[in-house]
Amino acid sequence: MADRRRAAVGDTITIQKPGLDQLLQTVEAAGYVPVGPQVKDSAIIYDRLESADHLPQGYSTEQAPGRFRLVRSGHARFFDFIPGAASWKQYLFPPCLELFSMRKDEEGWHNGGTSAQPNAYAFVGVRPCELAAIQAQDKVFLRADGTDATYQAHRARAFILAVNCLHPAGTCFCATMGTGPRTESGFDLCLTELDEHFLVTIGSALGRDMVLDLPAEAASAFLLGTAERALEHAAAQTRCDIDPSTCADALLKNLEHPRWDEIAKRCLSCGNCTLACPTCFCWDISDHNSLSGNDTRRERTWDSCFNPTFSYQAGGNTRPTIRSRYRQWLSHKFGSWQQQFGSLGCVGCGRCITWCPAGIDTRVEVAALQKEAKR
Amino acid sequence: MTLEAALAQTEAGTERSRETRWAEVVSVQQEVTDVATLGLRFIDPSMQRAYSFRPGQFNMLYLPGLGEAAISISSDCNDRSLVSHTVRFVGNVTRGLSRLRPGDQVGVRGPFGRSWPLEQLEGKDLFIACGGIGLPPLRPAISHIVRHREKYGKVTLLYGARTPAELMFTQEYEQWREAGIEVEVTVDRADADWPGRVGVVPMWFYQFRIDAQKTAVLTCGPEIMIRFVIFEALARRVAPESIFVSLERNMKCGQGSCGHCQIGPYFICRDGPVFQFSALEPFFNVEEF
Amino acid sequence: MTELNENIAELQQIPWFQELKPHHVRKLASITQLRTVKAGEVLFREGDKEDFVYIVLDGRVALDMYVPHRGKVRFYTADRWEIFGWSSVTPTVRQRTAGATAVIDSRVARIDAVEMRDACEADHELGYQVMRRLANVVAGRLLVTRLQLLDMFAHPEAKHGG
């Protein structure tokens, strides 16, 4: 081993491929539950990661509007694929969460038992767009005037092992949205995968501690250069015609544009886009009772603005048409979100495009609305 | 902001995320058809003493097993003995509230929302135009104005309902008049023994002399009515910055978190329900937005 | 003061008449009568054949229509300076489509519509001024009627058009 100098935050070191599994074991031994991408049912999901062997090694993905295919890459690399519909929000903002339970006796209603302790997750393989999505949801769920306790507990404890993208898929547009294909901060460790090595950028003291005992070397100029060229190449593949600096204005000033009618003819209002989108945060509350009426449980579940009754109240629905609901989603994501949270809600991950059964391509729609708005 | 900073500020945020507290129903006052006012008092007396709200805010009332509903607070802010909620019975939760009797318990979360900016409007003439169930959210504002009458110029209340039987809080109009508020009432239709006006609220602007520079308009009620009140106010050159509207949308969390009540960039429960019309202007008249 | 001068003085208070040329005001004043009515007094009934346009100077006049099984339904009240019976100015309507009852003691100005129509025919400048103002009145009433029709205070779960 050439260089035994203790690595510091900000450094990039090189490890051999078997080092990844060793790293995962170190992280798990430190008390984190590793979760990460795995192949299941011809797709990529996020689940408990037992070891590096369970990662989708040797796979890549072909993605297009309404299309996702897992294919063999012909290489032995671990992270050639681009993630599927699942995103890390399922851990920080669980799809179904019991808020509280209550029980009634002669004296009235009493609070039920406490919920389980939150896990300390290690998110393995967080893509730059996904990290940007987590940071977007931080602004939603961690606020001075109201914090989500579950989100905060998980987020504070999460270990982030990010991975830069060298092989973007057909629906990625992170470079245009300013979120990828590489990430510079917000992670504990960040991997860039080359053929024989991982470059590991240390993002935090915690990350540094995890690589202390790994056989590693300082990253050579050659490997850094190879990674740099590959990332530039990836960036060139992830551009589109959206102009993020002006799309908010263009959309919000053209809420009656005929394009919305045109999209509405294709949209099924199925809500896939909102389920797959890593920044969508709408939720619903439901109360569940036992037959006796003496036990009640309140649950929070993911909701979608495409849900026909999302805006229903007291005998009326303010968004009864698909047109109005699609317009709400797009003008929120690429428009109002900016005023609410200081940045756009889209991170360019492409999930809404890949997983839309009607093949609606948000890149095309936003660009079209921008272009026609300028006229 | 870094994650560390965000997490640091949220320690305080978690405390403020508003737990549900228990209150007892003290009074149930039937108002008009399908509307009643519930007077609530927190079971813990120290909580009752500590509870305060501003005119225009609302609480989330919770019935275990049924759910929550956002209800405007309609009592006087200075009345520390009770917190009153005027409820219209339209859905499952509000129908559950309609079955409450004195002694029953209900969960209360709040108060939430932005209030009528009464301090900033001191010195102005106030034109309060409301209709139907839009009067209850303005009632605490009227109580405040009555108490601080000398701080305001001319104050006019223009209130409309469907028929004379559906006018709310009629027993208080005389008090308000005695306090120096011009109270004018109109109905959509009536029969031969109604001595008052028949017509709609927005059109009665014609009858009043408004000094546009000095006037602020406060409005609440069915959105169609609000739309035309604003239209008439703007036609009389009242500035959009001087028109205040209270809106209503499907609310679930009351805290600007669940996304249901959004109109454009605003969460009605957190950025409203009281809005300055100049902020709402780009979105208010867009159909189905 | 002569009746004519009294009329002129009265009419000039009304926004409707402001900005009319003095000789036009004089002409209209000459075909106007001022009347006082007591609370409950009926000014005209549905179906009456009369040709007058009324302006409320003080008080309140209710317009109503008789609906079998419901009785007289008041659908509008005219307050100070509001016009009612304006359909007399249009050529085709020949009878009252609603009744008018004073709600409280009131004073009204009653203009002879036949004479006014003749005056408008003879002097198109006057005709234009009258019709222009009338168009505003009708537009306002139409809006009120539409808002009443939409029944905006109805219970949200009530069936529409049911």
Please enumerate in sequence order all residues whose Cβ is within 8 A of that of A192, keeping only pairs 6 or more positions apart, or say none: A163, A164, A166, A182, A198, A199, A201, A227, A230, A231
In this structure, CATH architecture of domain B20-112? Beta Barrel (2.40)
Within a domain: residue C14? yes
Residues A105, A22: one domain?
Answer: yes
Within a domain: residue A1? no
How large is the average pLDDT for residues B89-117? 93
Within a domain: residue C66? yes
Tell me the H-state helices in chain A.
19-29, 89-92, 128-141, 149-157, 174-177, 205-211, 221-237, 247-252, 258-266, 272-276, 322-331, 337-341, 351-354, 362-374
Tell me the H-state helices in B3-102.
3-15, 45-50, 92-98
Residues A29, A174: one domain?
Answer: yes
pLDDT digits 0-9 by tens, A2-39: 455 678 999 999 999 999 999 999 999 999 999 999 99
Residues A212, A66: one domain?
Answer: yes
- 8 A C-beta contact, residue A273 and residue A351: yes
Residues A317, A339: one domain?
Answer: yes
Phi, psi of A35 (to 5 degrees): -125, 145
How large is the average pLDDT for residues C113-129? 93
Within a domain: residue A4? no
Nearest-Cα residue of chain B relative to residue C100: B192
Task: Provide long-range contacts, Cβ within 8 A and 24+ apart, for A225-229.
Answer: A226/A194, A227/A164, A227/A166, A227/A192, A227/A194, A227/A199
Partners for C (CB, 8 Å, 3+ pairs)? A, B
Residues of B in contact with C156 (CB under 8 A): 90
Split into its structural domains, chain C has a count of: 1
Bridge pairing between strands C83-84 and C32-37 = unpaired
Phi, psi of A257 (to 5 degrees): -65, 140
Among A138, A139, A142, the strongest candidate for a mutation testing the B interface, having the largest count of B CBs within 10 A, is A142
Nearest to B94 by CA among A102, A314, A287, A290: A314
CB pairs under 8 A between B and C: 73
Residues of C in contact with B194 (CB under 8 A): 74
CA dist., res. B191 & res. C74, Å (int): 5
- Omega prior to C22 cis, within 30 of 0: no
Q: How many residues does chain B have?
A: 289
Residues A200, A337: one domain?
Answer: no
Q: Is the ipTM of this complex over 0.90?
A: no
Residues A198, A280: one domain?
Answer: no
Residues A288, A183: one domain?
Answer: no
Partners for B (CB, 8 Å, 3+ pairs)? A, C
Angle, nearest 10°, between helix axes C124-149 and B223-235?
150
Nearest to B229 by CA among B208, B249, B250: B208
CA dist., res. B84 & res. B28, Å (int): 9
CA dist., res. A194 & res. B213, Å (int): 69
Please enumerate in sequence order all residues whose Cβ is within 8 A of that of B2, keeping only pairs 6 or more positions apart, or say none: none
How large is the average pLDDT for residues B130-137? 95
Burial bucket for residue C92 (CB in 10 Å: 0-12, 13-18, 19+): exposed
Nearest-Cα residue of chain B relative to residue A251: B264
Nearest to C43 by CA among C81, C71, C78: C78
Q: Please give the mean pLDDT across all residues of chain B.
A: 90
Within a domain: residue C105? yes
Q: Does the pLDDT at position B14 exceed 50?
A: no
How large is the average pLDDT for residues C64-91? 88
Q: Enter the pTM of the model.
A: 0.89
Residues A210, A269: one domain?
Answer: no
pLDDT digits 0-9 by tens, B217-232: 999 999 889 999 999 9
CATH of B125-246, one of 3.40.1280.10, 3.40.50.80, 3.90.950.20, 3.40.50.300: 3.40.50.80
Give the pLDDT of residue C161.
41
Residues A82, A102: one domain?
Answer: yes
CB contact under 8 A, B286 and A256: yes
Nearest to B82 by CA among B36, B20, B37: B37
Residues of A in contact with C156 (CB under 8 A): 314-316
Residues A271, A192: one domain?
Answer: no
Give yes or no for B166 touching C (CB within 8 A).
yes
> Among A237, A266, A282, where does a domain finish?
A237
How large is the average pLDDT for residues B65-69? 90
CATH of the domain at C83: 2.60.120.10
Within a domain: residue C79? yes
| Residue bearing tokens 């489509």 | C97
Within a domain: residue A111? yes
Nearest-Cα residue of chain A relative to residue C159: A315
- Omega prior to B111 cis, within 30 of 0: yes
Give the pLDDT of residue B231.
92
C57 by DSSP, 3-state: which?
A: strand
Within a domain: residue C88? yes
Give the pLDDT of residue A316.
77
User: Would you tell me how many other CB atoms lie within 10 Å of the CB of residue C22?
Assistant: 9
Residues A137, A217: one domain?
Answer: yes
Within a domain: residue A3? no
Low-confidence ranges of chain A (pLDDT < 50): 1-2
Structural domain for A99, as ranges: 12-237
- 8 A C-beta contact, residue B97 and residue B106: yes
Residues A278, A226: one domain?
Answer: no
CA dist., res. A185 & res. A171, Å (int): 24
- 8 A C-beta contact, residue A39 and residue A70: yes
Q: Does the pLDDT at position B17 exceed 80?
A: no
Residues of B in contact with A327 (CB under 8 A): 289
| Amino acid identity for residue A151 in this structure | Y
Q: Does the pLDDT at position C23 exceed 70?
A: yes
Split into its structural domains, chain A has a count of: 2
Bridge pairing between strands B67-72 and B58-63 = antiparallel
Domain ranges of chain B: 20-112, 125-246
Give the pLDDT of residue B15.
40
Within a domain: residue A108? yes
CB contact under 8 A, B191 and C60: no
A10 token code pair:
């900000």
Q: Does the pLDDT at position B288 exceed 80?
A: yes
Give yes or no for A291 touching C (CB within 8 A).
no
